[in-house]
Structure formats: C-alpha cells, structure tokens
Structure 1
Amino acid sequence: MSQRTYNQLWADAQLELSCLLEEELPAEPPGPEKDRVVFFQRLAVLFVRYTQIFRQLEKAYDLVVHPQKRRFIHSALESVMGRVLELKNEMVEKEFSEYHYMDDVLHDLKLIPADLEIPIPRYFHSERSKEVQQRKAMLTDILKMAEVTETPEVSGKAAKSFKEAVKIIQVAERARQGRERAKFNMKNLNMNTMYRIKEPGAESAESAAVCIQKVWKGYVQRKRTKTAREEEMILLGMYEEPRPAEMTAQAIAASTRVKQMEHEEAYQKATVDVMNQLRDVEGDDMSKSMKVQIQQWFTECRNATGTFPDYPDEEDGGSALIFAEKTPQQVESKFAAKEEEEANAKAKGKEEKKEKGKSDKRKEDEEPPSDEPLPPRCVLMSSANLSRAYLESASLSSSDFWHNRSEYGNFNQMHDPELIKEEKRKVIEAEIRVKVRRRLQHTSHHCKSNSWLISQQNTRLLLLKEISSFIHICRTLQSLCRELVEQGLLKQTRNVQLQDFLGDYSYLGTTLRQHDIEPMPSLSDVRQVISLYAVLPLGSQVVHEKAPLIKSVLLVGPTGVGKKMLVHAVCHETGACLFDLSPLNTAGKYPGKSGLAMMLHMVFKVARLMQPSVIWIEDAEKMFYRKIPKEEKELDPKRLKKDLPKFLKLIKGEDRVLIIGTTRDPHSAEIKSLCKMFSKILLIPRPDYGSRRILWKQLIRKHGGEGTEALDLSSLAKISDGYTPGHIVQVIQSVLTKHRVFQQAKRPLTAAEFIAPLAQIDPVFQEEEEALKSWYAKTPLGKKRSKAASGKEEEEPAKDKNTKKKGKK
C-alpha cells in the first residue's frame, strides 16, 4: 500500500477518536448508572472501540515514513494505549473478574474476534533494537567468560566407559553390514533386469505410448483440479493464503522501515541546522526585544504601584507572564490571589482535622437509606491519558493541519523545514528568556547572589568529598551484571513471541454467564490479559506512568500450559531483562540475613538501571509454604518471604519493573500471604477444543509436517481433551523426526500416528482444574465475584459495622 493509504488510515482513526471522546466527555456529565450490567456493557463497547483505534494507529505509525507525522501519531498511540488500560481496570472493578467475554458486543458492532486482539506495538522492537542487541551481547560475553573460568583446561576428551565403547563398535559394524547387504541386493536387481529386457515389437511400443499418455494426462488433470480446489478454499477462507504473498509483504515493510530510518536521520540533522540558524539570525533580535519589554513592564508597574515589583518566579511562569500581554494590575492581583489561596488552605486544613473525628462518629451511627442509588463506582472515571484538552489539541494538530495541508510535490514524504522552524523558534525563545532573566537578576541582586554562590560552592565541595569517598565503594553496572550472571540470577531470554502462545477465542462466555455458569477462560483471553498487564506498560514509559500501576502478576495453572513461555514472551516483546529469584534458584546463594539483603538490593538496583525488567519467581508457592516438605527443608524456600514484599513496596510509578510468579500447586501456600504479594492473579486453564485444533495445526506445520486430507485434525483435537500445549509439543516432536518428515511425499501424515505417544502421557484431569477453580474463588477477586453473583455484595458494610461494635463491647 502507498503512503496515501496509511495517511488515510491515520485520519480515519483520528476522526473516530474525536467522535468517541465527544461521546465520552459530554458538556453535561451523566448521573450514576443504577444497573451494573448496563454500565459494564457501556465499558465493554468503549473498550472495543478504543482497541480498534489502537490497532489503526499502531499500523499507521509502523508504516508512515514522514518523521513529523510519526511524532503526532506516536503521542496519540500512547494516549489510546493508556486509555485501553484504564478501561480494562474499570471493567475488572465492576465485573470482579480478570477475564471478560464480549462476543455479544462484537456481534452488535459486526466485528470478528481477531479485531479484539491487542496488538504488540512494533516500535517496541525497532526503536530499542540496538540497545537490546548490546545487552544480549554483554550477557553472552559474561556467560562465555564464566564458562571459561568454571571449566579448567582439559587436554583431550574424557575417557569413555567399556560399555559405551562396545556400543559404538556394534553400531559401526551393523552400519557396515547394512551397506554391504544393500550393494549385494543392487547387483542382483541389475542382473535380473538384464535378462528380462527383450526387443520391443510394434504392438508393445504402441501400448507403451498409450500408457505414458494416460499417466501424463491424469497427472496434469489432477494438478489442475488440486490448484482449482485450493483457490476455491482460499476464496472461501478455509485455507490460508500462500506464503509468497506474505514474503512480499514482509519485504515491503522492511524497505519501509529503512526509509523511516533514513528520513529520521535527515530530520534530526535538519533540526540541528535550523536551531543553529535561528540562534545566529534571530537570536540577537529576540534578546533585545525581550529586554525592552521587561524594562517597559517594570516601569509600568512602578508608575502604577509606586514601587518596583519582584521578578516572577519560575513556578509562577517566570518572564512568560510578562510576555502574556497582561497589565501590571492583573499580574499583581494574580500574586495576591495566590497568597490568599495558600492562607485559606492552611486554615481549612486545621478545621478539617477537627471536624473529621466528629463526622466519622456520625457516619458510624447513621445507616444508609434503603432507596439510595448505587455508589459512585458506576460512574465512568476521568482519564489521565485523554481529556477535553487533548481532544482540542488533537483535532487542531491532525485534522485541521495535517489532513488539510497540501503536500503536492512531497512524494518521498520528507520533513517540512518550515514546521521545524515554527517548532524550534519556541525553544530558542525559551533559551534566550532564561539568559535574559539571569542577566537582569544578576544586575539587581548582585550582593545576594554572591553570598548564595559562596554557600553553594561550600555545599558543592562537601558533596564532592562525599562522592569521591563513595566512588571507591561503588561498582560499575557491568561488574554487578557479571556477578548476577555468574550466580544464575540474571538470565538470557528465549526468542518467543506472544503470538506463539496459540489459542482460540471463547465464543460462549457471555451465554454461560447469562445462565450463572462461570466459564473457564480460553488461551486467547490469557494472551490478551498478558498483553494489557505486562507488555504494554513495560514497553512504554509514558503508558507505564499514566496507566494503573501493576507491580506483580501471578500465573496459576497445571504443568505444560505455558507459564514459563509467557514469562519469556513478555521479556522478548519488551526487550526486558530477566532476573530469576525462584526459591530453588536462590538456595545456598548469599547466605545469612546480610547476604539476602545484599542479593535483593543488587537485583532491584540492576533491574531499575536496565529497565524494563522482569523478576521471575518460579514455583512461587514454595516461598509461602504452609508446611515445608522434609526434602526441601535444607533449601530454605521461605527465606524471601519477609524481605521481598518490602522491596516490592519500593517500586514506584516510574520504575518499569514487574514481578511475575508462576505456580502449579497454589493449595500448598498460605493464600493471604500469596495474595498480598501478587496484586493480579491469572488462572491459565487447559486448552478447549478450538485451541487444541489450532495447536495441532500450527505446531505440526512448525515442526515440518504438512496438513493433508489424510490428517484428521478434528479427531486429534477431540482425543487430546485434557492435554496441555506442552504435551502436544512433546507428542509432535516424538512423531515428526527427520526421517518421517522426509517420507511425507510418499506417505502422508495420519492422525493414528499421534495416538500411541499421546496415550503414554497422563492428561490434566477435570478434578485438578476444578480444584484450581475452587482455590481461585478464595482469592480477594474471587470472593467479590461470588458475592456479586449471589447478591450479597451490599450486605458486607453492615456486617463490618456489627463486628466493630461487638469488638468495642
């Protein structure tokens, strides 16, 4: 597609965003919604529509090559990402569930489940590719050095045992005998064919020609029929499109990204040249005009008030107030109003403290009326990412400017020099304003500034002494990383994408909930939640600071459902570092309380310096054991139980550090401690029928298999009920050996070949899944969900009051 198409895609997304913001932010805000179901339906519609805008903006940002347009798209994309995360947080609070089923919304909006998929912004990789490659190279170098130091120099190979040597000789001898037997058989075959060959007659030549014609015509017709059938199935959407089209699309996208890099470099170079030109040409005129305006403002203030005013502080706007075309009386009244507000705020604070105790006592005695509407939780919360100010600025910057701007002649979509001048002229004015302010303050407050400078110099000398003494104790980041790698706490991530976590959409979720049946989430739902809770906040600093803060996530599920794969996928998609603080991995390392504190301090320090970072805790239930098994008492798995939550509290909004725990046996842990440690608990189920069919199809193709009519995928998906993706991968690897893949042309794959190795593996039974489901019902969110389903949610405050009164008695 051309750049005009992507520009139009951006324009459509911006128009839809403007319409959606006008609907969400009306002039008169609506009152609270009484019906929780209706309110959640409104949230679901907003979530789906914002997701559609998110997908359009992400595609436009990835393929638009104009550097200035890409900056506008990038700001809109991050704002929409933050709004999607805010809506997800509100949906969880209103429905008391991490998984939501919106098949009815998709039906109303005439969308397909693929339109609800949360895309991973491709700029997460492209804009940090060099940094991630350097980090991987550093880790590989450290690992190589660690292997060299650990393994001493060994001359020659290790000696083999007598049995291994005999086995090798036997294998070689059997191979030699097989080769000799094959040669003998070939000689006999050649001798037999020599005796059978006779002089062909006229009749035999004619019959041979007819036979060849039959074979050739049958082959050609079968090939034509197969091609026509494949084209028909592709047209109906039953088969995927051929690979060459995908390869050409990838090649076009790669060339587009090369153009983006070239245009970005040209834009950066032009920006530097324009700024230097503005400083040289317009800098002197700007400084002179600013001096004249400031002097005129001071004289007007003296004539109006009789005294020279103080220079405005930077907090109040600095000299920008003087250039805002305000009279001296307006500026003075603004300062006076600010002082009155500060005085009133102090007085109100004292009064509120006195009245707070009285109001609390009144609230305890009073009972809420029965006809009172629902609390304000059914009111749509204001957004920290999108507001009316953003709506006005976005419409002015994109719709009124870019899409109505004539770009005739700019076929290559290069930068616009005039726009750079308009943008950087404000930067130059701010720089010159600061210089002018310093000169004027230096002349008017020369004595005060001298004493201030002397005190500042003394404090700087003291700080330099402390820093110089502290530098000897400090260590470089590379030395800390080397120690963590050698101890096995900092690990390399696998190249796994989140799309590799295969699974189908849940099509009956809404229907089951309408019949008071809580459905198990599908693997597609798990993939979406991981994208929202982990990938998007870790991938963007702006989104992480404005979105609801999530510090820790716990993945619960049986063995083989892909918990470890999801951890590596999050690290790969965001370029995050992976730290392993699993109880079994930290056993015996950094002993004692001081060693434990130093280990955690080093891990969190390096995680902040190399953010985004993921701290992985495998078998997290071991850290909160109810009763430690005898065989694990020496490992001391609970040594991180007290100190790790303390370090978790130190993670702030600007720190892109996420703790991910995985567990397959949460029943053996103290549920209260586990839920305090992890703010989000995600239950990963066994794959359903649709997910199993996709798994068999995609994994067989990934391992070199070809799907033909002889391979009945529906039967395989039906038979493999209860088996996890890990089990399916294990079976496919055992069947699709190199020899079997080579034989597919003569002997196609059949479903019967996978049944025997599948029967040798124990599945995950329904009882185990129900046990995990009942355990999840005991978590805080599960309790809220069960109370909301039973209608006991509104009775909880009254019970709390009664218990408090009993305690007082």
Structure 2
Amino acid sequence: MSQRTYNEMWARAQLELSRLLTEELPAEPPRPERDRVVFFQRVAVLYVRYLQILRQLEMVYDQLVHPQKRRVLQSVLDNVIGRVLELKNDMVETEFSEYHYVDDVLHDLKLRPADLEIPIPRYFITECSRELRERRTMLNDILKTVEIIENQESLVVRKMTTMEAIKIIQIVERARQGRLRAKLNEESRNMNRMFKTKEPDAADIESAAVCIQKVWRGYVQRKRTKIARDEEMIFLGMAMHPRHQVPCPAEIAAQATAACTRLTQQEHEEDFQKSVVTVAKQLRDVEGHDMSEKMKTQIRQWFIECRDATGVFPEYPNEEDGGSALIFVEKNPQQLVEEIAEKELEDSNNRPKAKDEKKDKGKKNKGKPEEEEEAGLKMLPSAFLPHLEAGNQIFVDFWKTRDESKNFNQRHEVELIKEEKRKAIEAEIRLQIDEQMRRELAEWKLAVDKDKGSKPKASTKRKKVTKSGKRRKKEKDLTADRTLESLCQELVQQRLIKKTKHVCLQEYLGDYSYLGTTLRQYDIEPMPTLSDVRQVISLYGILPLGSQVVHEKAPPIRAMLLAGPAGVGKTMLVHAICHETGATLFDLSPLNTAGKYPGKSGLAMMLHVVFKVARLLQPSVILIEDAEKMFYKKVPKEEKELDPKRLKKDLFKFLKLLKGEDRVLIVGTTTDPASADMKALCKMYSKIILIPRPDYGSRYILWKHLIQKHGGEVTTNLDLSSLAKISDGYTPGHMVQVIQRVVTKRRVLQQKNKPLIAAEFVSALAKFDPVFQEEEETLKNWYAKTPLGKKRIKAATGRDEDEEETKDKGKNAKKKKKKGKK
C-alpha cells in the first residue's frame, strides 16, 4: 500500500481514539457503578476498542516512513499499549480472574475472536539501538566460544572398559551376519523364480489383461470422483482452492514492498538525524547570541519591575522550580514574588505541618464517623490518558490538516526541526544565563541594599528520605572493578546465561474458548484455552518488556508464575517472551544453581552479578524452572544435598530492589505447585497463570499444524477429528513426540502411495500417560487457594456474606441500645 493509504489509516485510528477519549474524560466524573457485571461490561468494551486501535496503529507505524510522524505515532502507540494494560488490570480487579470471555462484546461490535489477539509491535526488535545490538553480538560471541570449548572437551577420547568394547564388536558382527544372510536369501529366491517360470497360455494372458483393465478403470474412476468431490466442496465453501494455499504473486509482491519500505525508513531516519545536528549547530551560531541577550534584558527588566512594585529585589527562582522560565509566564511581578515566597514556606514547613495536621485530624475525628464515599466500582486513575490526549491534540492541530502534496517521498521537514531545537537550545542557554543573572542580582543587592545588610541564603539540598524517615541505603557494587564482558563470560561458563530459542508467540497454537461465557452464566468456572494463555503472556510479559515508556507507567509486574502439567509449553512461552522482545535469558533454577557459588557470600555474589548484568542487558528474563522447589514445605530426602531453598530469602530481597525503569522479569514454571508453601509462593509471584491441558479445538489445530510442520500431508484419509477426540488429556509435548515417531523421513516418502491415517498415531500415543482429569482438578483446586482465586470465590458468594454482615451489625446495634438504657 502507498504512504497515502497508511496516513488515512492513521487518521481513522486517531478519530476512533478521540471518540474514546471523550467517553473516558467526560466533563463530569461518572458515578460509581454498584453492579459488578455492568461495570465489567463497560471496561471490556473499552478494552476491545483500544485493542483495535492498537492493531491499526501498529500496522501504520511499521510501514510509515516519515521520521517526524513516526515519533508522534510511537508516543501514541506506547500510550495505547499502556492503556490496554491498565484496562486489563481493571478487568482482573473487577472479575477476579486472569482470563475473560467477552462474546457479547464481540457480537455487539461485529468482531471475530481473532480480533482479540494481542498484536506484538514489530519495533521491539527492528528498532533496537546500536548499544543493544553490540551487547547482543558480544553475548553471542561468548556463547560460541564456550560451545567450542565444550565441544573440544567432548572430543577427548575417554577410556573404554573391556565389556563396552566387547558389546560394540558383538553389535557390529551381528549386523554383518544379518546383512550376509539377507543377501543369500535374496539370491536363493531369484534362483527359484528362474526354475518356476513357464510359457503362459492364451487364457492366462486374457485373464491378466482383464485384471489390468479392472485396476486401471477403477483407478481412473476413483480419480474422477475425487476431483468432482473436491470441486463440489470448493463450490460450497467447505474447502480452500489450491491456488489460495500457496502465497499468490500479489502477496509475495506486498511482502517485498514492505521489506523495501523498512529500508526506506532507515534511510529517512539517518537523514533526519544528520539534519538535526546541522540545524542545531546553525541555530546556536546564528540565533544563540540573540536569544541570550533577549533573555538577559527580560530578566533585568523583571528585576527592576519587582523593585518598583515591592521595594526590594526578588529572590531568583531555583533550578528545581524552573529557574528563569517562571519569569516568562504571563504574570505580574507581585504575583511571581508571592508564588516564590509561598513555595519556600511550603518547603520549609512541609513535614511538620503534615504531622500536626494528621494529629489534629486524629483528635478531631475521635468519636465521629468518617464521611463515607459513595459506594461502587470506579476505574483506577490512568497514567496514560493525559499523554494520549496530548498526542491526539498534536495530531489534530498539526498533522491532520497539513498539506503534503509537495512531500511525495515523505522526508523530514526542516522547519519542524527548527521549532523543536529552538526550545532545546533556549533551555540550554537559560541554564547558563541563570548562573550569570544570579551573580548579577547578588551584585545589585549589595550595591543598592547596603543599609539592610542582608546576605544571600545558602541553598541547602535535602537528602532523599524514604517513607519510614530513614535514608535509603545504596546497593553495594561488589563487582565495580569488572567489565560487563567479563561478568557475562563468567555467567555463561556457569550456565546462568542461556541462548534463547527462535520461537514466536504465534507458534503457541490454541483455539478460542467458545463456551467460556456460557459456562460462567451457569456459575461454572471454565478452564482457559491455550489461546487465552497466549493473550495473557503477551499482555503481562511481552508488551511491558518491549517498551520502556510502558514498563515505567503500567501496573508493575516483576514476577510471574506459569503453573501447569508437564508438556503444556511453559518453557516455550519463556523463550517466546525473550525472542519477541530481544531479552537476555538467565537461568536461576534450583537444579541449575546447585553447587555453584557456595556459601552465603557466594550466593550474594551470584545474585548480585545476575541482577547487575540483567539491568545492563535489559530487557532481561530470569527463568526459574521447578519454582516449587524453592518454597518446599518439606524438602525430600533425595533433594536435600541440592539445597533447593537457598535462593528463597535473598532472591526476594533482590526482587524488591528492582526499580520501575528496570525491564527485568522473573518467570517461574512449576508442575507441582501444591508441594510449595502457598503464602511464600504468592508473595514472590504477583501474577500466577494457570495453563491447562489443551481442549478439543486446540488439539485439532495442534495435530494439523504439527503434522504439516514435520512434512506430513493432511488428507481426507487422516481423520483429525477422531485423533483430536482420542487424544484428550495429552499435552502438546506428547503430540510432538508421537509425530516425531510416526512421521519419519521414510514415512514421508511413502505418503503418495500410502497416505497417513489416524490409526498410525494411536499405538504411539498409547505409550504415554495422559494428564488425567483428577490432576487437572487438583491444579484447579490449588489455584482456588491463591489470593485471586479466593477473591473470586468470595465475589461469587458475596451476597450471603453481605447479609451476614448486616445481621451482625443489627445485633450489635441492639446490644448497644440495651446497654445505654441500663
């Protein structure tokens, strides 16, 4: 598509965004909603609509080439992502569940289930900075060197025992004898055929011809019938035409155009950066002197006006308050002097006043009931809506009506660069002038106000104090004298940094839950599908890690636990998070850290190095497999030597030290969460994602995709529906192993004459133990004991509790009345 088309798409997305902003930012704040279902419906509609805007903006941003438009668009895109995460958090707090089913919203908005898929912005990977790329190449080089050393060690000849050598000789000799015996048998069969051959009769020739005719006519008729059946299915819309199964020339051309557009983006961005440098230099040389002189005259004029109005020279504003920028606000000198004096009084008396006010409020409110707020559900305050409104206003004021008929190639505009750089240069010059004018003001005071003898007050900087009143201790750097490369090399050698697999999140296949809404209407909690899991992982893991702006302002998620049976793809999801965001993968699993960095000092050093490198190479993901081992209620005898609980206390301390700007995510995986201490586990992991065994729809999609991926052909002979039905309880890991055993290279070559059938997979599938219903129920019961699960159960039985509370309140009131009468 052309750049004009993408500009129109951007305009349509901004129009929908402006409508949403008018609904979310009304003139009067909406009243709290008491009905939880109605409130959730309102939030769900906003969530789905923002999701459609996110999809459109991501598509436009990927193909737009104008560098200045891309900057405005990226700001809007990041804030839309943040708003989607905020609405998701509101939905979780309302419904007390990580998984939501909004079939009615999709029906009202005329959308498909596929429209609920979370689009992952491609700029997370394509627009990595040079520094990040250099770090990535450095890490890959270290991993390659370690792999080479390990391969050389594995090539060293090890000593072989006599029994091992005898077994190898026996295997080779038996194979030789078997080949020789087969050759002799084949020769004897050929000799027997030669003696048995005789001249055929006329009747034998005729019967042979008839037999050949029957076979040929049956083959031709079956072929014609198959063609007619396929044409009928295509005509009815029940099958896809073969030409649509292969990318058509138009699709291939569109993909090539998109790749060329990305190259054009890079060229335009480089030109833009060069132009920014040259324009800034020109402005400093040409307009810098005039700017400084103009500011000085304005500030001196302000000094004189304040002196005439108040009789004394004013105090110069501090840098924290904005410096001389306060002077250029449209206010008279008297107002400015009063504002500065008020700020100084507030700063000096801030804490004592707050404490006294709290004490006075406590005394006044004793014996008086507090004014109750209006009961109901409200949306949490948003950190992204003001930025969305500002970004939308920029688009409306500037880009919406701008005539770009002369800018066909969509290159940068120099006048816009000048406007932006003027502000930046003015700010730089203002800082220099503020220092000069402070000295000049001091000289004026000394010269004019000698009779007062007032000395300028020394500026005192406050030290940062925490909420508790104590100074925050800085984290000690135990490796201040070491380089990043040496730390990475040490972690790679200790196998604490691992290479991520190239796995996209879309490869985690699963079908939409079509019965979720229906089951919840009958107060039955449905098990989520793999599609629901994929959406939650993209919301909690990928979107916050991919964008620094989103991570700093969005609801914080520092640790996430993936709980589910073995083989459902927990580790695959971790690698998908790393691949989609370009994150570095660290492994702090109990089995991986066993025996490494012994002692308390060694443990502190290991965690310090891991978290330090994780911050420097962010975004980063810290994987903890078998997370339940770290929180064992009772450590099994066979695992006591490994000491799986050694990271429990220190890891939580380091987790608390992570700041908002640190894009570091801890992801734990567990197959047996019931063996862990629930309280400690939930304290560590703020989000717990339950991953179930796949349902029928997901199994059908998995069988079809995995068979085709391994070279198999899905024909009408292969009954996928029956195969998906009998594989109930089996995980995607089981399916992969079964397909690897059945769909071998030899079997792929035989498919033309012998198509695949469902019966071939049954025998291989029977060798594995499925995930039984009881195991899934135990996981479901365990999840019901988590904080979110408890809230959901309380919400389901909330009416009974409210009735009991009102009864208790009535009884207490009657008792108080009786005591008062006595």
- Whether these two folds match at TM > 0.5 is yes
Q: Show the counterpart of 1:418.
A: 415
State the 1:348 CA deviation. Answer: 4.3
Q: Show the counterpart of 2:166.
A: 162
For residues 408-462 of structure 1, give each alpha carbon's deviation from its aligned partner in whole angstroms, at most 9, with x where no partner exists. 13222211222212222222222222232233335555899xx999x99xxxxxx
Q: Show the counterpart of 1:34.
A: 34
The whole-number CA distance in structure 1 between the counterparts of 2:809 and 2:361 is 19
The whole-number CA distance in structure 1 between the counterparts of 2:195 and 2:124 is 68
Answering whether residue 433 of structure 2 is matched by residue 436 of structure 1, we say yes
RMSD between aligned residues: 4.0
Q: Show the counterpart of 2:112.
A: 112
The whole-number CA distance in structure 2 between the counterparts of 1:142 and 1:800 is 68
Q: Show the counterpart of 2:15.
A: 15
| AA of the residue aligned to 1:261 | Q
| AA of the residue aligned to 2:411 | M
Seen in structure 2, the aligned counterparts of structure 1 residues 137 and 401 have a Cα distance that, compared at 3 Å, is: closer
Q: 1:570 aligns with which of 535, 554, 577?
A: 577
Secondary structure of the corresponding residue to residue 660 of structure 1: strand
The whole-number CA distance in structure 1 between the counterparts of 2:330 and 2:621 is 51
Seen in structure 2, the aligned counterparts of structure 1 residues 214 and 619 have a Cα distance that, compared at 3 Å, is: closer
Q: 1:244 aligns with which of 222, 238, 247?
A: 247
Secondary structure of the corresponding residue to residue 722 of structure 1: coil
Seen in structure 2, the aligned counterparts of structure 1 residues 432 and 795 have a Cα distance that, compared at 3 Å, is: farther
Secondary structure of the corresponding residue to residue 550 of structure 1: coil
Q: Show the counterpart of 1:460.
A: none
For residues 158-213 of structure 1, give each alpha carbon's deviation from its aligned partner in whole angstroms, at most 9, with x where no partner exists. 767232244345546756887899899999999999x99xxxxxxxxxx9xx99x9
The whole-number CA distance in structure 2 between the counterparts of 1:317 and 1:691 is 58
Seen in structure 2, the aligned counterparts of structure 1 residues 190 and 8 have a Cα distance that, compared at 3 Å, is: farther
The whole-number CA distance in structure 1 between the counterparts of 2:727 and 2:404 is 58
Q: 2:401 aligns with which of 388, 404, 418?
A: 404
Answering whether residue 595 of structure 2 is matched by residue 552 of structure 1, we say no
Q: How does 1:78-93 map to 2 (within 5 A)?
A: 78-93=78-93
Return 651-660 or 75-84, whichever deviates more: 651-660
Q: How does 1:388-787 map to 2 (within 5 A)?
A: 390-391=388-389, 393-443=390-440, 474-787=481-794
| AA of the residue aligned to 1:680 | K
The whole-number CA distance in structure 2 between the counterparts of 1:580 and 1:609 is 16
Contact 1:502 1:524 in 2 (8 A): yes
The whole-number CA distance in structure 1 between the counterparts of 2:322 and 2:783 is 53
Contact 1:667 1:775 in 2 (8 A): yes
Return 586-595 or 166-175, whichever deviates more: 166-175
Contact 1:63 1:256 in 2 (8 A): yes
Contact 1:136 1:492 in 2 (8 A): no
Return 334-343 or 770-779, whichever deviates more: 334-343
Q: How does 1:6-155 map to 2 (within 5 A)?
A: 6-128=6-128, 134-147=134-147
Identical aligned residues as a percent: 63
State the 1:341 CA deviation. Answer: 4.7
The whole-number CA distance in structure 1 between the counterparts of 2:479 and 2:72 is 46
Q: 2:300 aligns with which of 291, 295, 303?
A: 295
Contact 1:551 1:658 in 2 (8 A): yes
Seen in structure 2, the aligned counterparts of structure 1 residues 441 and 226 have a Cα distance that, compared at 3 Å, is: farther
Answering whether residue 296 of structure 2 is matched by residue 267 of structure 1, we say no
Q: How does 1:345-360 map to 2 (within 5 A)?
A: 345-346=350-351, 348-355=353-360, 357-358=362-363
Contact 2:143 2:499 in 1 (8 A): no
Q: Show the counterpart of 2:259.
A: 254
Number of corresponding residues: 774
Answering whether residue 329 of structure 2 is matched by residue 324 of structure 1, we say yes
Seen in structure 2, the aligned counterparts of structure 1 residues 185 and 691 have a Cα distance that, compared at 3 Å, is: same
Seen in structure 2, the aligned counterparts of structure 1 residues 225 and 186 have a Cα distance that, compared at 3 Å, is: farther
| AA of the residue aligned to 2:142 | I
State the 1:384 CA deviation. Answer: 0.4
When the two structures are superposed, what TM-score results if normalisation uses the length of structure 1?
Answer: 0.86
Q: 1:306 aligns with which of 304, 307, 311?
A: 311
Q: Show the counterpart of 1:284.
A: 289
State the 1:486 CA deviation. Answer: 1.1
The whole-number CA distance in structure 1 between the counterparts of 2:300 and 2:10 is 47
Return 483-492 or 231-240, whichever deviates more: 231-240
State the 1:383 CA deviation. Answer: 0.8
The whole-number CA distance in structure 2 between the counterparts of 1:91 and 1:796 is 27
State the 1:229 CA deviation. Answer: 6.0
Return 95-104 or 315-324, whichever deviates more: 315-324
The whole-number CA distance in structure 2 between the counterparts of 1:402 and 1:471 is 51
Q: How does 1:178-189 map to 2 (within 5 A)?
A: none
The whole-number CA distance in structure 2 between the counterparts of 1:662 and 1:413 is 48
Contact 1:607 1:613 in 2 (8 A): yes
Seen in structure 2, the aligned counterparts of structure 1 residues 634 and 421 have a Cα distance that, compared at 3 Å, is: same
When the two structures are superposed, what TM-score results if normalisation uses the length of structure 2?
Answer: 0.85
Contact 2:478 2:605 in 1 (8 A): no
Answering whether residue 378 of structure 2 is matched by residue 379 of structure 1, we say yes
Contact 1:645 1:677 in 2 (8 A): yes
Return 262-271 or 124-133, whichever deviates more: 124-133
Contact 1:132 1:575 in 2 (8 A): no
| AA of the residue aligned to 1:401 | F
| AA of the residue aligned to 1:382 | P
For residues 451-474 of structure 1, give each alpha carbon's deviation from its aligned partner in whole angstroms, at most 9, with x where no partner exists. 999x99xxxxxxxxxxxx999962
For residues 748-772 of structure 1, give each alpha carbon's deviation from its aligned partner in whole angstroms, at most 9, with x where no partner exists. 2211111110111111000000011
Secondary structure of the corresponding residue to residue 661 of structure 1: strand
Is there any run of 5+ residues in structure 1 with no aligned partner, and where? 197-206, 457-468, 803-809
Seen in structure 2, the aligned counterparts of structure 1 residues 64 and 325 have a Cα distance that, compared at 3 Å, is: same
State the 1:247 CA deviation. Answer: 4.0
Secondary structure of the corresponding residue to residue 668 of structure 2: strand
State the 1:664 CA deviation. Answer: 0.7
The whole-number CA distance in structure 2 between the counterparts of 1:350 and 1:594 is 42
For residues 672-727 of structure 1, give each alpha carbon's deviation from its aligned partner in whole angstroms, at most 9, with x where no partner exists. 11111111111111111111111111111111112111111111111111111111
| AA of the residue aligned to 2:515 | L
